[in-house]
Amino acid sequence: MRQFLLFISIIVVGLIFIARLFYLQVYTTGSHSLFADNAIRKVYDYPKRGFVFDRNGKLLVSNQPSYDVMVIPREVEPLDTLEFCNLLKITKDQFLAKYEKSKHYSPRLPSVFVSHLSKEDYAVLQEKMRKFHGFYIQKRSLRHYEASIGANVLGDLGEVNNRTIENDPYYRMGDLIGKQGIEASYENTLRGVKGIKFIQKDRFNRNIGPYKNGEFDTIPEPGKDITITIDSDLQAYGELLMRNKRGGVIAIEPATGEILAMVAAPTYDPNLLVGRDRSKNFTKLYNDSIAKPLFNRSLQGVYAPGSPFKLMNALISLQEGVTTPKETVTCYRGYHYGRSFMKCHCASGTRNNMISGIQHSCNAYFATMYRKILDKNGNASEGINVWSEHAKSFGLGEFLNNDLFVGQKGRIPDREYYKYAYPKTFYSSYTVSNAIGQGEVATTPIQLANMAAAIANRGYFYTPHIIKNIEDETLPEQFTKPKYTTIDSQHFDPVVEGMHEVYKRGTAASLQVRGIDICGKTGTVENFIKLDSTKVQLTDHSIFLAFAPKENPKIAISVFVENGYWGSRYAGKIASLMIEKHLRDTITRTDLETWILKHSLEDEYAKPYSGKPFGINGRSAFQVVDDEEYAELRALLEQINNPDK
Amino acid sequence: MVRETNRHFKFDWITILLFFCLVGFGWLNILSASHVGTEVNYFDFSQPFGKQLVFIFCTILLITLLLAIDAKFYERFASVIYVISMLSLVGLFVFGKNVNGATSWYGIGSFTLQPSEFAKAATALAVAKFVSDLNTNLTFFKDQIKVFAIIITPAILVLLQNDTGSTIVYGAFFFVLYREGLPKYYLNIAVSLILIAILSLKFGAVITSIIAVFVAIAIYFFNKRKFRVHHIIMMLAVAIAVSFSIKLFYNNILQPHQKDRISLWLNLEKDPIKLDQMKKTFAYNLNESEKAIGKGGLWGKGFMQGTRTTGKFVPEQHTDYIFSTVGEEWGFVGSSLVVITFVLLLLRILHLAELQKSQFSRIYGYSVAAIVFIHFLINIGMVMGLIPTIGIPLPMFSYGGSGLWAFTILILIFVKLDSNRINEW
C-alpha cells in the first residue's frame, strides 16, 4: 500500500490537469476568429464611395474631404487654450468638457475632439497645428450633393445603428451607411469594401507590428459609380413647380420603365444632412409632423386615385366583353343604385359612349360599367375577384418590387377584403364607389404613373426603376423584361382615344400644348381627415395622369397635389409643363408656368390647424406668393433653363 | 563479451528520451514566448531562447560527466555533497544577489547561479544515504528527528532567502519517508491539517469545528480499530484548536502577498476595491495565463502563432508561466501530451526506483520522482488557476540554467544509479 501513494497521486493529478485543460480549452472556449481576439487591433481603411450621375451624365453626388481634430490626451502639452478655442470656434468650457471626455475614454488612444471642420477652418488651423502637441487632424470623406435637388431620390448617409451592426458584421460602430433613397438601396454598390489591417498589440495596448506580416490584411475595394435614370433638369423643374405645394410627381419613360423624375413636396436640400449639422437638421425635419418633408409622397403617399381609375374600369369592361366602345349610357346628372345616388356633372340626358365617357369623366357611365363587370356571371363575389386581378396586373395594390428604398402597396380590394364588411351577401351595388376611384381603392403616385405607362405601351410595362447603369454590371432582368397586363392590346385604343379627347375637348382642354399630342385624365378626389376625433372634409386633392406623345410615347406622368381642388387646376398644369419640358426643353405655355409659380397652397394646408372655421373647395381663396418670393422662384427657373450662367 | 562492450551504455534510454522530449519542447516554447518581431535569429545569445540553447548544450556535457562518474561515488560522497550544498546556501546571506525580492542567486557578471535548485538534489542524496543506513529505523522517533533535520535545514535556509516556493518543494520528501516506513498517523495528521486549514479559512472556524465533531462521531462508530473515546476527544480538541487558530496564523504570520494569493484562490475577498486592485497586480498574471490557455482551443494556434504570446500579454511567460504558451499555441492536444509526458516520466522513474536492489538507489529514485512531481503539480496547477500562486519553475521547461542543470543532475544521477543495477550482474 505504501508504495502506491505517490503512484496514485501522480495519476490523479495528471487526470485533474487534463480535465482542467479540457474545461479551459474545449468546454468554455470562445470564438477563435481574429475579430474576437483582443490581442489583435483591427484598423480599417475606408474606400472612396461611388459617385452618382444622372441620365445625361451630370454629376449629382460626389465626395468632399472633411477634417476631424483628434486628440491623444497623454501627449497633450500645455497650450494656448484661447487661441486654440478661437481656431476651432468653441468656448473654453466646451474645450474642457471635450478634453475630459476623451481622457475618460482613454488617455492613450486617439479620440475625436472636433468633427467635420470646414475647408476654411482647416486651412487656418493646419498652419498652427504644430503648436498643439497631442492634437492632430484626420481626414475623412463626406458626401457632397452637387445640386440641391432630389433629396428624396438620393437619400443621405448616417451612422449605422446597433441593429444593423448585429445583423451585418461588415459594419462597425461609427461607420456610415445609406439611410434613405439610392444611398440606401445601392449601399453595397456605392460603399465598396473596406480594407482591414490586423496589428499585433502588446499588453500596454501598443502596436508592435503587423500580425503575421500582414498575411490577412486586405486592400480596400473602391465603391462603384452609378448612373441613375433621373433627368436632373426635369427633376429640378418639377421640384420648382411643386414649391409651396404638397404631393408627388412621377415621370416614367414608358419604353424602358426608367423614372425620369420623382418629386416629393415639400423637400429639402440634401446637403442639410451632411456633416456636422446632420443630427440637428435631421431632428428638425423629422419633427415636422405636419409637412413631413422626410415622407416621400411620390412613393409612400397612399391616396384614392379618383377619376384616373376610370380608365382601368374601361379597360376591364372591354377585356371582359361586357361592353363595346360604341355602347352608350345615358346620364341623368348622376347614377341611381338602390336607394343611393352618385352625382355627376353631365347635363341630364347626356348619352356617353366610352370615349366621351372618359372625355367628360362621367360617373354614371363608369358606375354602369363597374357593375356590369362584377355582375358578368351573376355573381358579384366572383366578379370582384376577376376585376381585382385585372387591376393588380398593372402593378396596383402590390409592391412594385423595384430598387426604391421605400414604397407602399396601396389597395385593390377583392372579395376577401370585404369579408368583414359584407360577410354574407355581396352585390355589385355595394362597392360602386370603386368605379370612380374612390371607395376602397388606393394607389401611390408611382403606381399611377406606372399605370399611365402601361396604357401608353398598350398593354405592358417595365417595372419602374431608378438605376440606369452600374460600372461594369448589367441590370437585373426584372428591369429589362416587360410585364404584360391581362388586358389585350386592342382594347387600349378606345381608352387612349378617350384620353386624347380629354385634352382636345374634355376636362383638360385648357392645358393643350401646341404640337404635342398629349393623352391625359384629370382626377378630383374628395378627402377627409380626422381632426380632434371628428371627420372633417378638406379641399379635394388634385390628380392628373398623362402620357405623350400619343403615338410612340416618351413620357408617362402622374401628378398629385394635396388639396389642389380639381384635377386640371394644379396637377394638370404641372403635368403639361413637365411633358413639354421633357419633350421640347423649352416652355411655350409660360402662362401655366407663371400661374403655378405664383400660387401657393400653404394657407390651405394651415387651415385645419388654425382652430378657426374654414371653407373648402370653391369657398377657399387663392393664395398668391409675394413678389419677393416670386422673384426668387423666377431666378431659380432661370437657373434651370440656363444652367451655364 | 558483447555485453562487456555495451556495459557502459546500459542506461534507461526511456527516461533519457522523455527527459529530452521535455527539454526540447520546452525550448520551442521559450523561443515562442521570448522572441521579438518576425525575424528570428536562433543564435541571438542576448535573448532567453539563445541563452537556453547554450544551457541545453552545457546540459549534454553535464550528462556525459554525470554518467561517466562511478555510481558508488554518489553514495559515498552524499554527505559531503550535502554539506557543500548547505554551505553554498549559507553563503548567500553574504554574497547573494537580490532578484525580485529573493536573495537566491550568486552573480558572476551577467551570469547567475541559484544554489537552492542544486540543494534539492543534494538533500535527496543525503536523505537516501541516511535512511538506507542499516541503523536507521523511521519508526523510531530519534531517527525521525534526524531525517527531519536533514530536510528542514535547506528548507529553512531558502525560506530565509524569501524563496517560499522552493521551501514548499521540500514537502516532497514526505512521500519518500512515508514509503520508507514513516508511521501512518503522519499522513493522517498532514491531510487533516491541510483540510482543516482550507475549510476554516473558507467557511469559518465554527462550521469547521462542527464538521470535525461529526467526523469524530463517525470515526467512533464506524472505525474497526475502535479508538478509545479519550483519544478521539483529544484529536477533536486539537482539530478545533487548529481551526480557531488558523485565522491567527493567516493574519499574523503570512506576508500580505501570500494572504492575497490564498484569498483569491479561496474566493475570500469580497471588497470590490481590493478585488480590483488584485486584478491589476498578481491576479492579472493568472487571468492572462488562463485566457491564453483558453484561447488555444482544441488544436492550438500553432507554433509562434499565439497572439497573446506574441503580444507578451502574460508576464514572466518564458519562466514560471511557460505552460500558458503551450496552452495557447498547441491547444488541448499539445498541452495534454505535455501532461502525459510528465506523468510517463514520473511513473518510469517510480517504476525503476521500485526495481532497485540497493536501498540507497530506491530512496534516491523515489526522492527524484517526488521532487519533480511537486514541481509539476504546483507549477501547472498555478498556471491553470487550480492552486494559489507559488513561483516555482516547470521542470525541464522553464527558462533558466540553474533549474535545468539541477533537474539534469537530479534525474541523471538516478539514471546512473539505475544503470549500476543493470550492470551488477
Tell me which residue of A552, A464, A568, A451 sits closest to A506, measured CA to CA: A568
Shared-domain flag, residues A275 and A366: yes
| Minimal-distance CA residue of chain B relative to A30 | B295
Domain edge (last residue) among A228, A255, A272: A228
> B51 is written with which cell numbers?
541563452
Shared-domain flag, residues B114 and B35: yes
Shared-domain flag, residues B206 and B148: no
Question: Quick check: is A35 in a domain?
Answer: no
| Number of domains, chain A | 3
Shared-domain flag, residues B150 and B291: yes
**Residue B65, min C-alpha distance to chain A (Å):** 30
| Number of domains, chain B | 2
Residues 174-213 of A with CB under 8 A from B: 200-203, 208-209, 211-213
Shared-domain flag, residues A160 and A133: no
Question: Quick check: is A29 in a domain?
Answer: no
Mean pLDDT computed over B257-277 = 80
- Pick A24's closest partner by Cβ from B37, B293, B308: B293
Domain edge (last residue) among A89, A117, A142: A142
Q: Is A332 within 8 Å of A352 (Cβ atoms)?
A: no
Alpha helix stretches (DSSP H) within B108-228: 115-132, 141-160, 164-169, 173-179, 184-203, 205-222
Mean pLDDT computed over A381-387 = 91
Bridge partner residues of A538 (DSSP): A527
Q: Which amino acid is at A618?
A: G
Mean pLDDT computed over A122-140 = 82
Question: Quick check: is B270 in a domain?
Answer: no
Shared-domain flag, residues A163 and A237: no
Query: Which one is predicted more confidently, A32 or B122?
Result: B122
| Residue B38 confidence (pLDDT) | 64
Most confident of A36-50, A136-150, B147-161, B286-300: B147-161
Residue B190 in contact with partner chain A when CB distance is under 8 A: no
Shared-domain flag, residues A527 and A471: yes
Q: Is B293 within 8 Å of B336 (Cβ atoms)?
A: no
Shared-domain flag, residues B103 and B81: yes
Most confident of A336-340, B130-134, B227-231, B280-284: B130-134
Q: Whole-number mean pLDDT of chain B?
A: 86
B367: part of which helix (H) or strand (E)?
Answer: helix B359-383
Q: Do A20 and B373 touch (CB under 8 A)?
A: no
Q: Do B295 and A200 touch (CB under 8 A)?
A: no
Shared-domain flag, residues A349 and A307: yes
Tell me which residue of B385, B45, B80, B178 sits closest to A24, measured CA to CA: B385
Shared-domain flag, residues B122 and B206: no
Question: Quick check: is B119 in a domain?
Answer: yes
Q: Do A209 and B293 touch (CB under 8 A)?
A: no
Local structure of A193: helix, strand or coil: strand
Region of poorest pLDDT, from A229-238, A297-306, A554-563, B240-249? B240-249
Q: Is A291 within 8 Å of A266 (Cβ atoms)?
A: yes
| Minimal-distance CA residue of chain B relative to A36 | B295
Shared-domain flag, residues B72 and B215: no
Read off the pLDDT band of A234 (50, 70, 90): very high
Kindly list the residues from chain B whose CB atom is less than 8 angstroms away from the CB atom of residue A9: 175, 373
Phi and psi (nearest 5°) for B392? -130, 150
Q: Do B373 and A16 touch (CB under 8 A)?
A: no
Q: Whole-number mean pLDDT of chain A?
A: 88
Shared-domain flag, residues A511 and A603: yes
pLDDT at B406 over 80: yes
Instruction: Determine the structural domain holding residue A135 and report its residue range.
Output: 66-142
Q: Do B296 and A26 touch (CB under 8 A)?
A: no
**Residue B196, min C-alpha distance to chain A (Å):** 20
Residue B288 in contact with partner chain A when CB distance is under 8 A: yes
Q: Do A6 and B187 touch (CB under 8 A)?
A: no
| Residue B5 confidence (pLDDT) | 45
**Residue A239, min C-alpha distance to chain B (Å):** 58
Q: Is A262 within 8 Å of A298 (Cβ atoms)?
A: yes
CATH number at residue A603: 3.40.710.10
Residue A3 in contact with partner chain B when CB distance is under 8 A: yes
Phi and psi (nearest 5°) for A543? -125, 145
| Residue B2 confidence (pLDDT) | 42
**Residue B293, min C-alpha distance to chain A (Å):** 7
Question: Quick check: is A177 in a domain?
Answer: yes
Kindly list the residues from chain A whose CB atom is less than 8 angstroms away from the CB atom of residue B315: 203
Question: Quick check: is B268 in a domain?
Answer: no
| Residue A619 confidence (pLDDT) | 81
Instruction: Determine the structural domain holding residue B220 and report its residue range.
Output: 189-253
- Sign of the Cα torsion A299, A303, A305, A306 reads negative
Shared-domain flag, residues B247 and B307: no
- Pick B294's closest partner by Cβ from A10, A16, A24: A24
Region of poorest pLDDT, from A2-6, A35-39, A43-47, A227-231? A35-39
Q: Do A17 and B339 touch (CB under 8 A)?
A: yes
Q: Is B243 within 8 Å of B208 (Cβ atoms)?
A: yes
Tell me which residue of B386, B388, B362, B391 sits closest to B375, measured CA to CA: B391
Read off the pLDDT band of A31 (50, 70, 90): low
pLDDT at B408 over 70: yes
Local structure of B365: helix, strand or coil: helix
pLDDT at A243 over 50: yes
Shared-domain flag, residues A479 and A393: yes
Question: Quick check: is B83 in a domain?
Answer: yes
Does this model's pTM top 0.95?
no
Q: Is A93 within 8 Å of A186 (Cβ atoms)?
A: no
Shared-domain flag, residues A150 and A122: no
CATH number at residue A80: 3.90.1310.10
Q: Which amino acid is at A379?
A: N
Core vs surface per residue A179-197: b (16+ CB within 10 A) or e: bbbbbbbbbebbbbebebb
ipTM of this model?
0.92
Question: Quick check: is B263 in a domain?
Answer: no
Question: Quick check: is B241 in a domain?
Answer: yes
| Residue B3 confidence (pLDDT) | 47
Mutate to test the interface with B, among A17, A20, A31, A41 (most CBs of B within 10 A): A17
Q: Do B305 and A14 touch (CB under 8 A)?
A: no
Q: Do B311 and A16 touch (CB under 8 A)?
A: no
At CB < 8 A and 24+ separation, what contacts does B89-97 make? B89/B115, B89/B116, B89/B119, B89/B154, B89/B157, B89/B158, B89/B161, B90/B157, B91/B115, B92/B157, B92/B161, B93/B160, B93/B161, B96/B161
Mutate to test the interface with A, among B287, B332, B350, B379 (most CBs of A within 10 A): B332
Query: Which one is predicted more confidently, A614 or A644?
Result: A614
Q: Which amino acid is at B382?
A: M
Shared-domain flag, residues B197 and B174: no
Domain edge (last residue) among B253, B285, B301: B253
Domain edge (last residue) among A117, A142, A167: A142
Kindly list the residues from chain B whose CB atom is less than 8 angstroms away from the CB atom of residue A202: 311-313
Question: Quick check: is B61 in a domain?
Answer: yes
| Minimal-distance CA residue of chain B relative to A213 | B38
- Pick B311's closest partner by Cβ from A3, A16, A201: A201
Shared-domain flag, residues A303 and A199: no
Residue B178 in contact with partner chain A when CB distance is under 8 A: yes
Shared-domain flag, residues B50 and B145: yes
Shared-domain flag, residues A456 and A385: yes
Kindly list the residues from chain B whose CB atom is less than 8 angstroms away from the CB atom of residue A208: 310-311
CB–CB contacts below 8 A, A to B: 110
Length, in residues, of chain B: 425
Give the separation between CA A469 and CA A235, rounded to whole angstroms. Answer: 19
Question: Quick check: is A17 in a domain?
Answer: no
Shared-domain flag, residues A244 and A175: no
Region of poorest pLDDT, from A558-567, A632-641, B91-100, B343-352? B91-100
Residue A28 in contact with partner chain B when CB distance is under 8 A: yes
| Residue B1 confidence (pLDDT) | 38
Question: Quick check: is A13 in a domain?
Answer: no
Kindly list the residues from chain B whose CB atom is less than 8 angstroms away from the CB atom of residue A24: 290, 293-294, 327, 384
Q: pLDDT tens digits for B191-248?
A: 888 888 888 888 888 888 888 888 888 888 887 666 677 888 888 888 888 888 888 8
Shared-domain flag, residues B316 and B388: yes
Q: Do A21 and B38 touch (CB under 8 A)?
A: no
Tell me which residue of A435, A437, A436 sits closest to A447, measured CA to CA: A437
Residue A30 in contact with partner chain B when CB distance is under 8 A: yes
Shared-domain flag, residues B94 and B235: no
Shared-domain flag, residues B59 and B193: no
Q: pLDDT tens digits for A482-528?
A: 999 999 999 999 999 999 998 888 888 888 888 899 999 999 988 88
Shared-domain flag, residues A278 and A304: yes
| Residue A110 confidence (pLDDT) | 75
Question: Quick check: is A3 in a domain?
Answer: no
Question: Quick check: is A304 in a domain?
Answer: yes
Kindly list the residues from chain A whose CB atom is less than 8 angstroms away from the CB atom of residue B346: 10
pLDDT at A57 over 70: yes
Question: Quick check: is A403 in a domain?
Answer: yes
